Structure 1
Amino acid sequence: MEGTKIKSENFSPCLSSTSKKIRVIWGITNKCNLKCKHCAVESKESSALQGIEKYFKALESMEEAGVDTVYLSGGEPLLFDYLYDLIDYGKRLGLEITMGTNGTLLNERSAKKLKNANIDRVFVSLDHWRKEKHDWLRGNGTFEKTINGIKLLKKYEVYTRIDSIVWKENYKELEKLVDFCEKLKADEIIFAWPVKVGNALKNYDYIFPPEEEYLKIGEKLEALRKSKSIKVSYHRFRYFDESAKDCPGGRKIFYINGEGRISPCFWLSTMLDLFTERNIFEEEFSSLLEDYNIQEFRKIEERRYEKFGPGCPAVCKIYNKTIYSKDPLLLK
């Protein structure tokens, strides 16, 4: 791929954001009201709901183990019965609590409850400024509901980040989407390349931009980051050099599924069974970090890093069919 090299400056190869200490991505429910054409998560009935005290205890266990950030995902978190109580309790423990949502279920009541629970940030999915394009990807009628949800979050002064994939229908005009989000008074917009798993793989021809455009898109995003008043950020649209970080999975980032089982990486967990046999409703978070699957993943990643350098093992698995390989997208 051709393009101007942007120095990594300790740029993480991870497909997810990291934190200063430990970040947990908690898929609190598999239930979802949409069937997005690029989603990696299979929407299905969630595991049996635990008593609320078990969720509180799990948060306590995470905080004691050094977790500083918990990102609530799904499915659709707004369908989770204990959502607002869980956010409120996490904040009282001193955790940073964020949440991802498709935005379609947000209303006056839920936006106000998120504000009252003191949630730090809400990430709303919006993939186009044109109704028909967004609705094609996420379902008829979703655009207007999502826009209304964003406006309600801003009405109640909730920090709102727009999460957008770079796809065939927006990659040539990303600035228009940035400007649209700025007019909505969103606080931030973050872009990510779609990942070839789940529905995105099934709909590859309709979703993915040409891979030869990857670095050119990165250059455009960097220009937007520097020129726009709204905060513009992105994952992985750069070359990595020797200063790039290694994979944080299994050290600084963990994924927890609806059953409470832990994996070192959400994306790899869609392809491989890396989950602990035990779960956070039965054992302390710190003890689960010593599980064989977690430790074995770290050993594999360390060997991969020693031979192939910085990169994302999930991307390696997706594109090369094996973790133990060179990151194929950006690593020179």
Structure 2
Amino acid sequence: MNRYKLLNIAKTYFKSVFYSILPKRTVPLWTHLWVTRRCNLRCKYCYVSHEKYPEMNTIELKKAIKHIKEKLHCSFIALMGGEPTIRKDLPEIIQYMTDLNITSFLTTNGTLLDERKIFQLCESDVDFIELSLDGMSPSPISEKTGQNLMNILEILIKYTKTYDVGLSINMVITKQNYKELYELIRLVSGEPISITTGLYIPDLQDEKNILDDPFAFISSEDLINLDGFVNRIINLKNKGAFLAMDDSYYKKWVPFMRELLKRPPQKPKKLWKCKAGKNFLEIDCDGRIRYCSYLNQLVDEDLTIIDLDLSYYHQLGSRFKNMLKRCNNRCLSNCFYQVSLIKNHPFKFADEFVFKHAMPFVYELFDREKTSEKMALKNEWRKKFNY
């Protein structure tokens, strides 16, 4: 990410926010584009169905990406899965996004990455890479743990710093791993790495066994521990830890779980307002539109991204509104919450995550000596990988 692209990202961000404020000009601030449902792991909390599913080929994906940019005016696209790095054409797809001035986000479990693949992703000019890492200790619920991922993280840090690629870690917080977040914060301290967290939510379709879920914060003691954890991570944020979720998100964890766990079951109170379908667009790997990543439900069986223009997008608002009445109060997705925060408090978001944390690393882009050092490293790696 060079200085010119960085300025373009800032311009795109504020332009998207401006459009989202105008009722008749609402555009998606953010698009999740699933490039595959295939995955090499089977984490027990994962909501993605791993059944065989048709995927857009390279040409179809490029058409979808171009349509999102030109017809829906969305310039922030996250490549999701499944595990996106399963696709061999991923660097080509990212390079195409770069050519269209689209800000690219890649989410990966990291287990298929090696130094060559990381080099290829950085050479394609990916803007942000998010590594899913649920702790250092083995876990019965997640395969995204352990020393191997820590080794991959070291390589990612080396390459992303040289190529000016944003790097973040996402951790799903459970009753069994929450204390490991402290160690993760310590390990990445001083590095330009943000940490996002999501709260593990028990299977709400299984009401009978929800109270027996060993990974959810269920009992009164669990909730006391969770409350103490929330207070501590907010304190760590105030001391400089780069935790990229707003305090308001963490403060909703305990009230949210209390609402879900009321017995007999009651309709939980809505603690936040989701922007799915208004400022957040979800596209499956076959090109069809879904309500969100958590709901395995299509907006329309025959509707694909190529059929969607802004006029039609606005017409879908009532469908999303009806769906949100049924699901918003039972969900606390960190992705959707973040987009809602951007929409409702755009300048607060910019101040919190750009000026407080990112600016020291932005200054490096204008340091000629460091720029020369980075260029020398890039040339060295290009020779190494015969690029």
- Given the two structures, how large is their TM-score scaled by the length of structure 1? 0.73
> For 1:208, which of 207, 210, 216 is the aligned residue?
216
Which whole-Å CA distance do the structure 2 matches of 1:78 and 1:256 have between them? 18
Q: Comparing 214-223 with 94-103, which one deviates more in the overlay?
A: 214-223
Higher RCO by CA contacts (8 Å cutoff, separation 6 or greater):
1
- Name the counterpart of 1:170: 177
- Name the counterpart of 2:368: none
Paired letter, 2:178: Y
Deviations 1:35-73 (A, max 9, x none): 0121111223331x4342221111111012121211111
- Name the counterpart of 2:62: 56
* Closer/same/farther in 2, CA of residues 45 and 143 from structure 1, 3 Å limit: farther
Which whole-Å CA distance do the structure 2 matches of 1:173 and 1:258 have between them? 33
Unaligned runs of 5+ in 2: 1-15, 21-28, 256-270, 333-387
Deviations 1:71-103 (A, max 9, x none): 111000001232111111112111111011111
Deviations 1:164-189 (A, max 9, x none): 01111222453223113338x46111
Which whole-Å CA distance do the structure 2 matches of 1:291 and 1:39 have between them? 31
> For 1:195, which of 195, 198, 201 is the aligned residue?
201
- Name the counterpart of 2:307: 283
Residue 259 of structure 1 and its aligned partner are, at CA, apart by: 1.5
Residue 285 of structure 1 and its aligned partner are, at CA, apart by: 4.7
Paired letter, 1:246: K
Q: Comparing 213-222 with 197-206, which one deviates more in the overlay?
A: 197-206
Question: Is the CA contact 1:250–1:295 (under 8 Å) kept in the aligned structure 2?
Answer: no
* Closer/same/farther in 2, CA of residues 112 and 172 from structure 1, 3 Å limit: closer
Larger Rg: 2
Which whole-Å CA distance do the structure 2 matches of 1:123 and 1:199 have between them? 29
> For 1:96, which of 103, 106, 109 is the aligned residue?
103
Question: Is the CA contact 2:173–2:198 (under 8 Å) kept in the aligned structure 1?
Answer: yes
Give the fraction of aligned pairs with identical amino acids, expressed as a percent.
22
Which whole-Å CA distance do the structure 1 matches of 2:115 and 2:205 have between them? 31
Q: Comparing 215-224 with 70-79, which one deviates more in the overlay?
A: 215-224
* Closer/same/farther in 2, CA of residues 124 and 288 from structure 1, 3 Å limit: farther
Question: Is the CA contact 1:129–1:180 (under 8 Å) kept in the aligned structure 2?
Answer: no
- Given the two structures, how large is their TM-score scaled by the length of structure 2? 0.63
Which whole-Å CA distance do the structure 1 matches of 2:308 and 2:36 have between them? 21
Count of matched residue positions in the alignment of Structure 1 and Structure 2: 277
Tell me which stretches of 4 or more aligned residues in structure 1 moved more than 6 Å: 198-204
Question: Is the CA contact 1:71–1:98 (under 8 Å) kept in the aligned structure 2?
Answer: yes
- Name the counterpart of 2:151: 148
Unaligned runs of 5+ in 1: 1-18, 305-312, 320-332
Report the secondary structure of 2:327's partner residue.
helix
- Name the counterpart of 2:320: 297
Residue 117 of structure 1 and its aligned partner are, at CA, apart by: 1.0
Residue 288 of structure 1 and its aligned partner are, at CA, apart by: 5.3
- Name the counterpart of 2:276: 249
* Closer/same/farther in 2, CA of residues 274 and 50 from structure 1, 3 Å limit: closer
Report the secondary structure of 1:250's partner residue.
coil
Paired letter, 1:297: F
Question: Is the CA contact 1:38–1:207 (under 8 Å) kept in the aligned structure 2?
Answer: no
Residue 137 of structure 1 and its aligned partner are, at CA, apart by: 3.1
Deviations 1:168-218 (A, max 9, x none): 1222453223113338x4611111101334999989622212462444332
Deviations 1:1-21 (A, max 9, x none): xxxxxxxxxxxxxxxxxx746
Which whole-Å CA distance do the structure 2 matches of 1:172 and 1:297 have between them? 37
- Name the counterpart of 1:45: 52
Considering only aligned residues, what root-mean-square deviation do their CA atoms show, in Å? Answer: 3.1
